[in-house]
């Protein structure tokens, strides 16, 4: 299993993977291309034998660079049950682009038990706090057409470390 940054060429495979992973919301192919390019440093692609089997999209909100927001976690049915979601989250948090992050946030609907387990496990593994609160309400924000999204905040006990720098002077 290879975990890497995505490229523009991965866009179609990411779009197909998300479509095959209900209850994830399908994004436009263009949105996925932007994630694979402009946000590549905060996205993770899992590949096995040339096939895309996992995906995490995320970004650091410009209003609060001490956070990383994980937008989607997708794992192909062919790669479930081996802890790939957790491996991808750990790989993301270990990247230099995440240096200084003090919290990971995401949103999860009440019924998405796999996501609840994934992020609760991450909090335990990293020794972080775990909190949840309504972020986007079914009636107020989705006109009744989408389930309420709960924001999960995992406070990291220490900011993600910056990579060691070499003195080249």
Residue ranges of domains in the chain: 2-155
Where residue 104 falls among pLDDT bands split at 50, 70, 90? very high
What distance lies between CA 144 and its chain's CA centroid? 25
- Report pLDDT digits (tens) over 9-26: 999 999 999 999 988 889
Residue 163 has pLDDT above 60, yes or no: no
Where residue 160 falls among pLDDT bands split at 50, 70, 90? low
- Report pLDDT digits (tens) over 62-82: 999 999 999 999 999 999 999
Residue 110 has pLDDT above 70, yes or no: yes
H/E run at residue 116: helix 113-126
CA-nearest of 11, 13, 6 to 44 is 6
Where residue 167 falls among pLDDT bands split at 50, 70, 90? very low
Query: Does this model's pTM top 0.85?
Result: yes
Options 3.40.630.10, 3.40.630.30, 3.40.50.150, 3.30.70.100; CATH of 2-155? 3.40.630.30
* Contact predicate 43/97, CB 8 Å: no
Give the model's pLDDT for residue 166.
47
- Report pLDDT digits (tens) over 51-64: 999 999 999 999 99
What distance lies between CA 140 and its chain's CA centroid? 25
């Amino acid at each position: 299993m290879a975990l890497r940054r995505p490229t523009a060429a991965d866009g179609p495979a990411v779009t197909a993977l998300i479509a095959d992973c209900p209850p994830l919301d399908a994004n436009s192919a263009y949105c996925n291309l932007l994630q694979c390019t402009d946000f590549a440093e905060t996205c993770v692609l899992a590949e096995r034998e040339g096939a895309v089997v996992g995906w995490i999209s995320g970004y650091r909100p410009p209003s609060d660079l001490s956070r990383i927001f994980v937008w989607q976690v997708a794992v192909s049915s062919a790669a479930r049950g081996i802890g790939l979601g957790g491996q991808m989250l750990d790989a993301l948090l270990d990247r230099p682009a995440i240096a200084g992050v003090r919290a990971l946030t995401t949103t999860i609907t009440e019924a998405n038990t796999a996501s609840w387990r994934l992020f609760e496990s991450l909090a335990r593994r990293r020794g972080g706090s775990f909190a949840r609160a309504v972020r986007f309400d079914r009636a107020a924000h989705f006109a009744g057409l989408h389930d309420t999204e709960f924001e999960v905040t995992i406070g990291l006990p220490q900011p993600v470390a910056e990579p060691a720098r070499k003195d080249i002077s």
